[in-house]
């Protein structure tokens, strides 16, 4: 057994794997599928969040590459390779785009090779690290990205796993502080919302059974991650409704894009 295989825990559902299950992937275990089905019973809409979040990622990266001229991306909490990963969307617009992926799940590491096949003109790299290890991430990212030029910082569905509010804001702030003006933050986050009470039951089930624990925040609290940035229209909204290609129902996963002045 390799070191990576030894780190894969198939006794408890893991977020990367359940996300993969809900988006139709095959890189998950029975324990993930069972929990995924139970959560879907508690909140039938939840699978749609994962799909809406991936589509939001695609629209945001396309905007950054096409409209904002971003050619470098730091995608933390990458998840298991899926259709339209960040480098694929970015390199369709700009073949020379560079992407550094970061995740702390061993199964994502095991599948990382799929993330490292980009265009000959571009570059991708993968880092097995924790979002909280900001210095390690920045030092490693600087081997592939020029941090003196704008970067698209992708934090989709990942700061929800930093339970302490102050620490979660500080991590995002420290990452942004290290990036050049013109950099953009793309962030999505599960929310508590009075109109969607059954999300809370699904999250409570996850926190009893899955790993890592997840923290919901209010839409206002999610907007605070963008403090000091120029928040792009339409602001922090259900990620399904961030510049949608077609009219979409709201989801309890909010997202936004902000530009560092």
Any contact of residue 212 with ligand SAM (CB under 6 A)? yes
8-state DSSP, 112 = G
**Rounded alpha-carbon distances, angstroms, from residue 11 to 20, 25, 105, 126, 211:** 17, 19, 14, 26, 11
Any contact of residue 57 with ligand SAM (CB under 6 A)? yes
Any contact of residue 108 with ligand SAM (CB under 6 A)? yes
What SS3 class is residue 122?
Answer: coil
Smallest gap from residue 142 Cβ to ligand SAM (A): 18
Name which of 42, 2, 39, 43 is nearest 21 in CA terms: 39
Smallest gap from residue 124 Cβ to ligand SAM (A): 15
Any contact of residue 16 with ligand SAM (CB under 6 A)? yes
Smallest gap from residue 80 Cβ to ligand SAM (A): 7
| Token pair recorded at residue 143 | 């081997």
Smallest gap from residue 1 Cβ to ligand SAM (A): 21
Of 74, 156, 222, 252, the residue at the interface with ligand SAM (CB under 6 A) is 156
Positions in 70-99 near ligand SAM (CB under 6 A): 77-79
Nearest residue to ligand SAM by CB is 79
Smallest gap from residue 38 Cβ to ligand SAM (A): 17
Q: Is the bond preceding residue 260 a cis peptide, omega within 30 degrees?
A: no
Q: Are 179 and 151 in contact (CB under 8 A)?
A: yes
Any contact of residue 130 with ligand SAM (CB under 6 A)? yes
Q: Are 129 and 136 in contact (CB under 8 A)?
A: yes
Any contact of residue 223 with ligand SAM (CB under 6 A)? no
Of 29, 161, 206, 226, the residue at the interface with ligand SAM (CB under 6 A) is 161
Q: Which stretch binds ligand SAM (CB under 6 A): 14-22, 65-73, 112-120, 243-251?
A: 14-22
- In angstroms, the CA 171 to CA 102 distance is 14
Continuous H helices in the chain: 3-7, 15-22, 30-42, 46-66, 86-93, 106-110, 134-141, 165-177, 198-209, 219-223
Question: Contact residues for ligand SAM (CB under 6 A)?
Answer: 15-16, 19, 53-54, 57, 77-79, 103-105, 108, 130-132, 156-158, 161, 212
């Amino acid at each position: 057994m390799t070191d990576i295989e030894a780190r894969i825990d198939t006794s408890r559902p893991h977020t990367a794997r359940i996300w993969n299950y809900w988006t139709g992937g095959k890189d998950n275990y029975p324990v993930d599928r069972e929990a995924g089905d139970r959560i879907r019973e508690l909140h039938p809409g939840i699978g749609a969040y994962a799909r809406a979040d991936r589509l939001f990622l695609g629209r945001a990266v396309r905007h950054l590459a096409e409209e904002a001229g971003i050619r470098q991306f730091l995608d933390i909490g990458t998840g298991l390779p899926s259709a339209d990963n960040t480098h694929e969307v970015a390199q369709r617009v700009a073949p020379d785009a560079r992407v550094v992926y970061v995740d702390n799940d061993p199964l994502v590491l095991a599948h990382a090779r799929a993330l490292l096949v980009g265009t000959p003109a571009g570059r991708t790299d993968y880092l097995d690290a924790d979002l909280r290890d900001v210095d390690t991430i920045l030092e490693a990212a600087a081997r592939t990205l020029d941090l003196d030029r704008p970067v698209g910082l992708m934090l989709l569905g990942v700061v929800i796993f930093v339970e302490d509010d102050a620490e979660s804001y500080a991590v995002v702030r420290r990452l942004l502080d290290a990036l050049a003006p013109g950099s953009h933050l793309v962030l999505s986050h599960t929310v508590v919302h009075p109109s969607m009470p059954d999300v809370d039951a699904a999250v409570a089930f996850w926190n009893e059974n899955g790993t890592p624990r997840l923290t919901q925040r209010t839409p206002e609290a999610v907007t605070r991650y963008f403090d000091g940035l120029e928040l792009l229209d339409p602001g922090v909204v259900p990620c399904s409704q961030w510049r949608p290609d077609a009219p979409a129902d709201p989801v309890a996963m909010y997202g936004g894009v902000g530009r560092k002045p």
